[in-house]
Amino acid sequence: MALNIWIDDLRPAPEGFVHVHTLADLRALLASSDEPIEVMSFDHDLGDGEPDGYDIIKWIVDHHLDRYPAEIRTHSANPTGAENIAEYDRFVRRRLLSGELKNFPDSGWERDVR
């Protein structure tokens, strides 16, 4: 079974998603489960003093590239933050496709790269 992760400090998670509020919550979840990540949906602004969604997607690449989500979504009210997350995801997928980054699971993501 794969994980669907909702990262947001305020909005409730939709059905079928595990809700994490902060990077610390995400670290604890990934440490307690080795399930692959199917979908990860990001809010950008996660509260005062907390790493934002952009920081979290970079952390995933640095620490859990082997579990990079098959699909990244944004649901942030911050349009610039949401676009930064989406652009970083496109950048990562292009680098994975070109072979510059390694250890990506075979999840069929390459069909969606443009």
Does some domain include residue 28?
yes
- Confidence band, pLDDT 50/70/90 cuts, at residue 32: very high
pTM score, two decimals? 0.86
Does some domain include residue 111?
no
Looking at residue 67, which CATH number applies to its domain? 3.40.50
Q: How far is CA 94 from CA 11, 67, 89, 100, 107, in A?
A: 31, 16, 9, 9, 15
Does some domain include residue 114?
no
* Total tally of structural domains belonging to the chain: 1
Does some domain include residue 54?
yes
Does some domain include residue 30?
yes
**Structure confidence by residue, pLDDT tens digits, 59-72:** 999 999 989 999 99
Does some domain include residue 57?
yes
Does some domain include residue 99?
yes
HEC string of the chain? CCEEEEECCCCCCCCCCEEECCHHHHHHHHHHCCCCEEEEEECCCCCCCCCCHHHHHHHHHHHHHHHCCCEEEECCCCHHHHHHHHHHHHHHHHHHHHCCCCCCCCCCHHHHCC
Q: Is the pLDDT of residue 109 over 60?
A: no
Does some domain include residue 113?
no
Q: What range defines the domain where residue 10 resides?
A: 3-103
CB 8 within 8 A of CB 53: no
Q: How far apart are CA 43 and CA 63, in angstroms?
A: 20
